[in-house]
């Protein structure tokens, strides 16, 4: 591809040089014939030069177009290869379909390697149906990796993750992800209307269902103030909206899906204080009666947790209820509370 681009960069100046050389040769040779008085009159020579000058621009364009076609063909090949790429995570033979979470999610001696590095080490905890579990720790400690393993974006290297006593590897991947809703730090929005962006999680939803989801997500109020309301185009990646507004659209999408299991991956970390307050209220509404896994470093998102798991260098160093961790003044959670209070 780099070789093709270099040839494209050379195409235009090279065609200019060649056309100039050819023109000089023709003028020299034609001028010599005219001066010798043979075959060609001055009028015919001038006419010939004019005709030739009209041929040069299309010839240059043809050269440039050739390299553009080659570049387009190379890009199309790369896109085609990407679309045909086989996913490493696939269903087993005769996978089990899961329609809802009935009891709990268990992490049993879970380890995960990326290349040769062990990222997650001997993780053991469970999330009972309806519980809110928060995972906290420093950046790069492995918090998001745990959430990715829970949604089976990756497979564990050792150990296993169970959903209602079923190994996650034995579950149908589509059915597993159908019972999950994810709200991440970066809102995934498309260059389309607000309505269609919310509708992505449930294409069969009615207008009333979409509006109700937006109300629960505290998004309805700002949407109806827009000129075209729900039919407003939000631009590429939602660039026409503020950070808080984009996040509330993502939350509305999750509400519409009505998932059994909810994963919040630092959903408020990039927001200002005013936006965070609105989004936090929306998240509180979303978490009601749902099994929730929260990845966070802000206390505002974990205060209502049933259990807190503290991760450091891929290992659990503390686990317990907020109250029990607070009693230990040397715990990571206690120190986090003190820092927040200051």
**92: in domain:** no
Same domain, 22 and 111: no
- The shares of helix, strand and coil residues in the chain, as percent rounded to the nearest 5, are 50, 20, 30
What burial letters (b/e) apply to 79-104, b meaning 16+ CB within 10 Å?
eeeeeeeeeeeeeeeebeebeebeeb
Output the pLDDT for position 5: 47
CATH number at residue 192: 3.40.50.300
Same domain, 116 and 39: no
Which residues are CB-neighbours of 264 under 8 A, at least 6 positions away? 183, 283, 287, 292, 293, 294, 295, 296, 301
Q: Which domain holds residue 251?
A: 104-341
Q: In what order do the strands lie in the sheet with 166-167?
A: 117-128, 104-114, 158-163, 166-167
Rg of the chain (C-alpha set): 31
One digit per residue, the tens of pLDDT, for the chain of length 342 reads 445 445 555 555 666 666 677 677 777 776 676 666 666 666 776 777 777 777 777 766 776 777 778 888 888 888 988 888 878 888 888 999 999 899 899 999 999 998 878 888 999 999 999 899 999 888 788 888 998 999 999 899 999 999 998 999 999 999 999 999 888 877 888 989 999 999 998 999 999 999 988 988 888 988 999 888 999 998 888 888 888 888 888 888 988 988 889 888 877 665 666 666 767 777 777 777 889 898 876 676 777 788 989 888 888 988 988 888 888 777 777 777 776 655
**93: in domain:** no
Q: Which of 125, 115, 126, 188 is nearest to 157 (CA)?
A: 115
| Of 83, 112, 147, the domain-final residue | 83
Same domain, 332 and 257: yes
CB 89 within 8 A of CB 156: no
- Report the domain count for the chain: 2
CB 164 within 8 A of CB 103: yes
Output the pLDDT for position 272: 62
Same domain, 128 and 257: yes
Same domain, 143 and 28: no
């Amino acid at each position: 591809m780099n070789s093709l681009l270099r040839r494209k960069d050379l195409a235009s100046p090279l065609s200019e040089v060649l056309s100039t050389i050819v023109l000089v040769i023709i003028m020299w040779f034609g001028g010599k014939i005219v001066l010798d008085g043979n075959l060609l009159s001055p009028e015919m020579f001038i006419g010939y030069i004019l005709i030739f000058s009209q041929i040069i621009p299309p010839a240059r364009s043809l050269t440039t177009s050739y390299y553009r076609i080659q570049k387009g063909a190379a890009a199309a090949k790369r896109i085609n290869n990407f679309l045909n790429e086989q996913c490493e995570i696939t269903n087993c033979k005769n996978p089990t379909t899961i329609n809802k979470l009935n009891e709990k999610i268990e992490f049993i001696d879970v380890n995960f390697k990326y290349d040769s590095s062990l990222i997650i080490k001997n993780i053991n905890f469970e999330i009972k149906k309806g519980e809110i579990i928060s995972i906290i720790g420093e950046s790069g400690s492995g918090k998001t990796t745990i959430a990715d393993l829970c949604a089976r974006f990756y497979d564990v290297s050792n150990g296993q993750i169970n959903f209602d006593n079923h190994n996650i590897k034995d579950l149908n991947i589509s059915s597993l992800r159908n019972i999950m809703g994810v709200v991440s730090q970066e809102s995934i929005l498309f260059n389309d209307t607000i309505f269609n962006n919310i509708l992505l999680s449930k294409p069969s939803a009615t207008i009333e269902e979409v509006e109700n989801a937006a109300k629960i997500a505290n998004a309805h109020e700002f949407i109806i103030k827009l000129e075209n309301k729900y039919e407003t185009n939000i631009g590429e990646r939602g660039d026409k909206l503020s950070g808080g507004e984009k996040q509330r659209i993502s939350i509305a999408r999750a509400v519409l899906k009505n998932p059994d299991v909810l994963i919040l991956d630092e959903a408020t970390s990039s927001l200002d204080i005013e936006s965070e307050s609105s989004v936090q209220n929306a998240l509180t509404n979303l978490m009601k009666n749902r099994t929730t896994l929260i990845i966070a470093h802000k206390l505002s998102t974990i205060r209502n947790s049933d259990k807190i798991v503290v991760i450091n260098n891929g290992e659990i160093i503390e686990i317990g209820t907020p109250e029990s961790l607070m009693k230990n003044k040397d715990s990571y959670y206690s120190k986090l509370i003190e820092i927040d209070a200051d």
